[in-house]
A and B are shown apart, each in its own frame.
Chain A
Amino acid sequence: MYEHDVIVVGGGGAGLRAAIAAHEEGADVAIVTKLHPVRSHTGAAEGGINAALRDGDSWQDHAYDTMKGSDYLADAPAVDTFAQDAPEEVIQLEHWGMPFSREDDGTVSQRPFGGLSFPRTTYAGAETGHHMLHTLYEQVVKRGIEVYDEWYVSQLAVTDEDDPNERDCHGVVAWDVQSGEIAGFRAHDGVILATGGPGQAYDHTTNAVANTGDGVALAYRAGVPMEDMEMIQFHPTTLPSTGVLISEGVRGEGGILYNSEGERFMFEYGYATNDGELASRDVVARAELTEVQEGRGIEDEYVYLDMRHLGEERITDRLENILHLARDFEGVDGLEEPMPVKPGQHYAMGGIEVDEHGETCIDGLYAAGECACVSLHGGNRLGGNALPELLVYGARAGRHAAGADMPEPKIQTGPEPDAEREDLGVPVGAPGARDAAVDGGAVEHPDSDPKAIVEATAESERARIETLLEREDGVNHADVRSDLQESMTENVNVFREEGALKQALEDIQDARERYQDVYVADKSRTFNTDLQHTIETRNLLDVAEAITMGALARDEFRGAHWRKEHQERKDDEYLKHTLVSWNDGEPELWYRPVILEGDEQTYEPKERSY
C-alpha cells in the first residue's frame, strides 16, 4: 500500500494545480494519473484564460458575464469566488514562466472572446492549454511532487455508512498499467478527483480518447450526486472529419462564419445581431445547425469559418496553430481557403457536485476541473473560463484537502431526503447492480480502520478484475462503446426532442445489458489497454445515462439545453440544478435551487440577447 497526505487523481491542469497548492500547504502529495501529465487533455485547449487584469475591467464584470452566459444556472458564490481569484492565478502562471503572448510594452496580451463585455482573455498563441499544462508540470517537477504516471484509478475507498453525507474517503485503488500491479493508495487528508471531461460519450467530440468521465462515475458510485449533467456544451467550430477544435480565438480575432450562399448568417438571419460570431457558444452552435437544416449548409453538414482577411501576419502571430490543425486534419490551407466547421461535443458544464472548496458530500473526497460542478458554468460555459476554473478551483481543493483554514462554504452538497424528486417513467440503470463482476458503491468493511478499508477495497478490485480477465468470450467493449457514442450523438445533441431522449435511454439500457457479458480478450497483465478501455466504457454508460436523464427531465430551453417542445426558459420552474444520485438502488433524479445572491449583488435573471 502507498501512503500520502493528499492523493490527486489525474495529471491535467486541475490536478497539477491542486497538487502544487496542497504541496505549498506542506502536505505530502502524490498525483496518480492514467496518462503521463504532459499527455493530458488540458494541452489541447487553444483559446485562453479569462481574468480581469486591466483598468476598465473588474472581477464584478467578469462575474456578471459568467452568470449571464450561464443562463442563470450558475451559483453566485461559485461565480464570485472564481472571478475574484482568477487574476492572481493568471499572474501566478506568468511568474512561473508561462510564455503568454505579449503586448509591445511586454505585458501579457488579452483578446475578445464570446460573451465577454471586455477583452479579458489572456492567451499564448492558439496553444494556451499546451503552454499552461507544461508550465504547471514544470512546477510539479521543481517541487519534487511524486507522480505515479500510467496508473489507472478504478475505485474509491469509501466507508459504508447508509447516508452518503456521513461517508469518509480514505484513498483509492489503482493499477499500474505497465505491470498490472493492483494497489491501494491511502490518503491521510484527502483524495482530489481531477479526471477531466466525459466527451467520449459522443462520437463527434473535441475531447481526447482518454476523456471517459472516470472521476464522475467513481464519485457517483460512491454516493456523490452528479449535477447538471444535461448541460453539455457543443463547440460551434470543430473540424467535420475529426472533431478537432478550431479555437474561439479565430472568431475573437475577427473570423467570420458564412453559409453556402456566402451569407454572413449570424447577422443576416438575425441569430445574434449585436455580437454576430462572438455570441455565446450555444447561440452560434444552434445558428450553424439551423443553417444546415434549412439547406444552406455545405454538403448538408457544415458551414465556413473564414480568417483569410485577418492577414498572414496576424494569423501567424496569434493563430498559427490553427493553420497546422486545418492543414493536418482537414487538408485546408487557412490562409487561402475558409475552413469547414460544425458543432461538436466540447465540454461538460455539469459533473461531480462540490462546494467552493471543491469538497463533495463525502468527507475527504474532492473534485476539480471539468469533472467537477461547483456550478460555475451553469447552462453554458463562456470561452476562456475553463482554464481559470481549473486554476482557481484546483488550487482551492488542494489547499482545503491539505488542511488550510478556509471559511464555511455557502454551497450545500449531498443528497437531501426532502428534496423535490422526479420520476421519469423510463427505466434507468443502477450502475453497480448491472456490472459484469463484483462491484458496488462502498465495500463492506470489517472495521473502521482506514488502512483496512483501503486494503479491503483493493482486494475487491483484484477479484473484479480477475473475473473480467478470466471470462473466455463475450461482448467486445468497443462495440458497446461505439453504439453508445452513436446514440448519444444522434439523440442527445444540440437539438433535443422527447422521443429521441427516450430512445437514448433505451439504447443505454440495452448497452448496459450487453455490458454484463463484456469480456477482455487480452489476458496479459502488461499494458492491458483492452482491460482499461473496458472499465472506461462502464464509466461512460453511467455518465451518458445521467446526461440523458437530466435532458429529459428539464423540459425548458436554457443555455446549451434546447428542447424542441419547450422553446422557453422557464425561470419559475427551473432555476434549479438537476441532480442524479445513486445509493444502492435505482438512480434518483432530484433538484436543488440555484443560488443567485452574490457577494455584492443578486443576479436577476434577464433575457440573454447577443
Chain B
Amino acid sequence: MSTQTPETETETEQPSSTSPQQRRMEKKQAKKDQREADEAAAANEIQGETVELKVFRYDPEIEGKEEPRFDSFTVPFEKGMTVLDALIYARDEYDSSLTFRHSCRQAVCGSDAFFVNGRQRLGCQTQIADLDGPVRVEPLPHQEVVKDLVVEMDHFYDQMESVDPFFDPDETPDGELEEQRQDRENRENIKLSTRCIWCGACMSSCNIAAGDNKYLGPAAINKAYRFYMDEREGEQKRQERLEIIEDEHGVWRCQTQFSCTNVCPKDIPLTEHIQELKREAVKQNLKFW
C-alpha cells in the first residue's frame, strides 16, 4: 500500500429491493474483497517503498531548535513496520538527537504514547500500513513538551497517586501462607481496569482534563475503580475512595465524551468505569437519607 495516497472510504447506497441480511452479506463480501485487494496491493508495492514521517521537534536549550518545527524523514518501509520502528530508524540513521521515550516495544511499558495522525496511540502498537501518509508524529497534546516527543508526565503521575493507588484491606489473613479469597467473578469485574499501563493517552485525549488541571482524569479514576470494586478491600477504605472520587474535580466532571475509551491502547472501558463509580456514589448518598 502506498503511504503517499490516502485511502478514501466511501459509503455506497444499497439498493432497497434486497433483504437486510442480503445487504449485510454483500457489505461483508465487499469488505473482504477490499481487504484482499489491499493485501495484494501491499504485497506488490512494499519493495522499495518508503514512508514519510513528519516529526515534531523542539529543544529548549539548543539554538535553532527552540522554535517548534516539523522535520521530515523518509524511511524505507517494511511489512510489519510500526511507528516506533520508523522513529528508531530515523533516529539511528539520520539524526541521533531525535528524542522520544520507548522501551518494551510490545505495548506494556506505556512509554511511547504519541499523537499520530491526530490521535493518541502507542508508537509500538501502530502499524504504519494502517495509516495514511505522510505519518505525522507529535507529542501528546495537553502536556508540557520537554523535548521533541517527550512530554512532562509528572502531572499524570500526581493524579494517579492522588487516588491512593494501592490495595488497602481492613485486615489480612493471620497465617503467612493463608490467602485472601477472591471470587472469579469479582476478578473478572476488575480485570480490564487492571490492564492500565499508565501511558497517559486517555488523559491527553480528555477535553475536561485539558480545561481543568485538577480533574482526576480517566486513568486515575480507573485506578480507583480497580480497588473500589475489589471485594477484598476494606469497607472503610471504600468510603474513603468514594470521597476522593466524589470530589468536585472527580467523577462528576466527566461528560461521557468517550474520547478516553476510544484511544485506550489496552481497550479499557474507561468511560463505563467512570459511570459505574458515579452510580456507586449516588447509591451511597441515598443510604444516608
Residues of A within 8 A of B (CB): 35-36, 38-41, 43-44, 53, 87-88, 91, 94-97, 99-108, 125, 127, 130-131, 134-135, 138-139, 141-142, 178, 208-210, 241-242, 244-245, 324-325, 328-331, 476-478, 482, 520-530, 533
Return the CB mask of B168-190 against A: 1 if under 8 Å, else 0: 11001100111111111001001
Q: Taking the complex as formed, is B60 at the interface, i.e. its CB lies under 8 A from any CB of chain A?
A: yes
| Contact A526–B106 (Cβ < 8 Å) | no
Residues of B within 8 A of A482 (CB): 92
Q: Taking the complex as formed, is B114 at the interface, i.e. its CB lies under 8 A from any CB of chain A?
A: no
Residues of A within 8 A of B178 (CB): 91
Can you list 9 A-B contacts with CB-CB less than 8 angstroms, sorted by A residue number?
Answer: A44-B108, A91-B177, A97-B233, A106-B183, A107-B181, A134-B194, A138-B166, A324-B107, A476-B92
Given contacts A44-B108, A530-B96, contact A139 B166 (CB under 8 A): yes
Given contacts A102-B183, A524-B61, A527-B146, contact A41 B177 (CB under 8 A): no
Q: Taking the complex as formed, is B150 at the interface, i.e. its CB lies under 8 A from any CB of chain A?
A: yes
| Contact B230–A97 (Cβ < 8 Å) | yes
Q: How far is the CA of A94 from the CA of B230 in the complex (A)?
A: 13
Among B99, B103, B184, B230, point to the contact of A208 (Cβ < 8 A).
B103
Shortest Cβ distance from A109 into B: residue: B184
- Would you give the shortest CB distance from B114 to chain A, in whole angstroms? 15
Q: How far is the CA of A305 from the CA of B81 in the complex (A)?
A: 23
| Contact B197–A43 (Cβ < 8 Å) | yes
| Contact B179–A91 (Cβ < 8 Å) | yes
Given contacts A108-B179, A527-B147, contact A210 B103 (CB under 8 A): yes
Given contacts A44-B106, A478-B96, A527-B146, contact A102 B182 (CB under 8 A): yes
| Contact A476–B182 (Cβ < 8 Å) | no
Given contacts A138-B165, A209-B103, A244-B106, contact A36 B153 (CB under 8 A): yes
Residues of A within 8 A of B165 (CB): 138, 141
Q: Taking the complex as formed, is B167 at the interface, i.e. its CB lies under 8 A from any CB of chain A?
A: yes
Q: Taking the complex as formed, is B227 at the interface, i.e. its CB lies under 8 A from any CB of chain A?
A: yes
| Contact B97–A99 (Cβ < 8 Å) | no
| Contact A526–B104 (Cβ < 8 Å) | no
Contacts A40-B109, A53-B177, A91-B178 given; 20 further ones with Cβ under 8 A? Answer: A36-B153, A36-B157, A43-B108, A44-B109, A87-B177, A94-B180, A95-B180, A96-B167, A97-B232, A99-B194, A101-B187, A108-B179, A125-B191, A127-B195, A208-B105, A244-B105, A522-B99, A526-B146, A527-B148, A529-B100
Q: How far is the CA of A328 from the CA of B82 in the complex (A)?
A: 10
| Contact A88–B109 (Cβ < 8 Å) | no
Residues of B within 8 A of A35 (CB): 103, 109, 111
| Contact B80–A88 (Cβ < 8 Å) | no
| Contact B106–A325 (Cβ < 8 Å) | yes
Q: How far is the CA of A519 from the CA of B227 in the complex (A)?
A: 49
Residues of B within 8 A of A36 (CB): 111, 153, 157, 198
| Contact A522–B97 (Cβ < 8 Å) | yes
Q: How far is the CA of A139 from the CA of B125 in the complex (A)?
A: 29
Shortest Cβ distance from B227 into A: residue: A97
Sorted nearest first, the 8 A-B pairs with minimum C-beta distance are A97-B167, A106-B181, A522-B97, A138-B166, A142-B166, A478-B92, A39-B109, A208-B103
Residues of A within 8 A of B182 (CB): 99-100, 102, 106
| Contact B96–A88 (Cβ < 8 Å) | no
Q: Taking the complex as formed, is B286 at the interface, i.e. its CB lies under 8 A from any CB of chain A?
A: no
Residues of A within 8 A of B166 (CB): 96-97, 138-139, 141-142
Given contacts A36-B157, A88-B176, A97-B227, contact A43 B97 (CB under 8 A): no
Q: Taking the complex as formed, is B102 at the interface, i.e. its CB lies under 8 A from any CB of chain A?
A: yes
Q: How far is the CA of A515 from the CA of B72 in the complex (A)?
A: 29
| Contact B110–A529 (Cβ < 8 Å) | no
| Contact A105–B181 (Cβ < 8 Å) | yes
Shortest Cβ distance from B58 into A: residue: A526
Shortest Cβ distance from B97 into A: residue: A522
- Would you give the shortest CB distance from A235 to chain B, in whole angstroms? 13
| Contact B191–A99 (Cβ < 8 Å) | yes
| Contact A91–B187 (Cβ < 8 Å) | no
Q: Taking the complex as formed, is B246 at the interface, i.e. its CB lies under 8 A from any CB of chain A?
A: no
Q: How far is the CA of A38 from the CA of B194 in the complex (A)?
A: 13
Residues of B within 8 A of A39 (CB): 101, 103-104, 109-111
Residues of chain B in range 102-146 having any CB-CB distance to chain A below 8 Å: 102-111, 125, 146
